[in-house]
Amino acid sequence: MNRIFFAATALAAIAIGTASPTLAANARKASFGKLPDGRDVSAVTLTNGRGISATVIALGASLQALLMPDKAGKVEDVQIGYDTLDGYLAKPEFFGATVGRVANRIAKGRFTLDGKVYHTPTNDGANSLHGGTKGFDKVLWEVTDVKSGPAASVTLRYVSPDGDMGYPGTLTTYATYSLDEKNQLTIEYRATTDRPTVVNISNHAYWNLAGVGAPRGAMGHVVTIPAERYTPTDATAIPTGQHVPVAGTVFDFRKPRAIGDRVRDARDPQIAYGRGYDHNWVIGKAVTPTIHLMARVVEPVSGRSFELWSNQPGLQFYSGNFMNGTITGKKGQIYRMGDAIVMEPQLFPDAPNQSAFPSVRLNPGQTYLNLMVYKLNTQR
């Protein structure tokens, strides 16, 4: 089934105060290190006049750091990951990365398009995860544009050749990160193809609004997700195809709830399957022409919070269940279960194999668009 991806026509906004016309956001490019083959990995830091800064690295077009103040004005990095390039090369774990060509899981690394069967490498048990063994998170993107101004921005480009990780068609993708004086961090993914293919690109930022190294982790974060239904999975995290009401389940975040209240409630077999939350919430039925609220996250102690808005129909919420103490990250912290959360606006998992889900098909002449806006705030 063909589906046109609509461009967003409006951005709603909330801010930490009213932006002054005298303020201007700044973009600064530097080097984050070199790959083993000698290629340089650029880092671009976007900074506004309100104490927010975001650093994006060209490896995986990744959000490497996001600094924001708490209610006392103390600035902390709220993105877990690594301080240096070596960590991203040795054990990447999708920290802050752009994931694709197809984000999330494809059952058994297999799908059919126009009667032809395609295979992509399996890297999550029997399934393919986030594009396969060398997805968009593990390639060096080209920095094509860096701008300062009312919104500081960086645009990166990657051309995935026909047959890359088994996917058909040459896919040209642009990732643009921008930060404005309303404290909105916007991530926009656009892609075009020269032949029919499947596309589902998202961002895999790991959030701990308490700040990197905070011993309380992220399980005290209070989450709201405006979804009536979610898509349960089998034991391998592949959706069964059902849309199940959240009412009366541990998946009901229609009213604000702390993640830790129910994340280990294994009386629900879905929690046992994922060792916590690693599921898709059904926000809508299709990509929309304007952005809508996907989630609200508040860290009560620091007062830091964000609202996530996007044009996508699905939200994958992952509660950091598979971090097991084998990774040492920023500030020498050992990352453990529940130290950070991920919220990925996207199309549904295994959509290439599930005709009842919104289509991930992209045809020549169409433009794929995933637009996500993090409205950063500090509650006083």
Catalytic residues: 204, 344
Strand-pair partners of 198: 361
CA 312 – CA 290 distance, rounded (Å): 9
**Does residue 281 contact residue 317 with C-beta atoms inside 8 Å?**
yes
Give the tokens for residue 180: 């404005």
Instruction: Identify the CA nearest to 213 among candidates 45, 79, 318, 68.
Output: 79
In whole angstroms, give the CA distance from residue 93 to residue 91.
6
Q: How many CA atoms lie within 13 A of 361 on its CB side?
A: 18
**What phi, psi does 182 have (nearest 5°)?**
-95, 10
Residue 273 sits at φ, ψ, to 5 deg, of: -60, -45
* 45 Cβ contact list (under 8 Å, min separation 6): 27, 28, 30, 53, 54, 55, 56
